[in-house]
Amino acid sequence: MAGNAQANYIDKGTEAHLVKICEAIKNNNTLKVHRAIKNSGIRARIISEGLVCNGYDPVTFAIVNKAQSTAKFMARKSGVDYEALLARL
């Protein structure tokens, strides 16, 4: 085989929480993002480093969807340099 693809099982509740986080990021609402992260029970740093929304990390996903407020918010949570990432895109 070409690589080790691992598919970890995610329960429906956790998946629903992660989808809500992606939706909040896309809607450019930092309060909803904060609440969605809090309701998920997963630390913001873990989410900002591991979540994938439509194939993008949370910061890039927000930028692609023209959600600058949530892009900056998630960049702060993950320690990403927002301006450098924006310049790269």
Domain ranges of the chain: 12-88
- How many of the other CB atoms lie within 10 Å of CB of 82? 18
Half-sphere exposure of residue 37: CA atoms within 13 angstroms, side-chain side: 21
Q: What is the pLDDT along the chain (89 residues), one digit of tens a residue?
A: 344 445 567 788 889 999 999 999 999 999 999 999 999 999 988 888 889 999 999 998 999 999 999 999 988 888 777 676 666 76
| pLDDT of the residue at 45 | 87
Output b/e per residue, 30-58; b: 16+ Cβ within 10 A.
bebbbebbeebebebeebbeebebeebbb
pTM reported for the whole predicted model: 0.81
Class of residue 5 by CB neighbours under 10 A (exposed 0-12, middle 13-18, buried 19+) = exposed
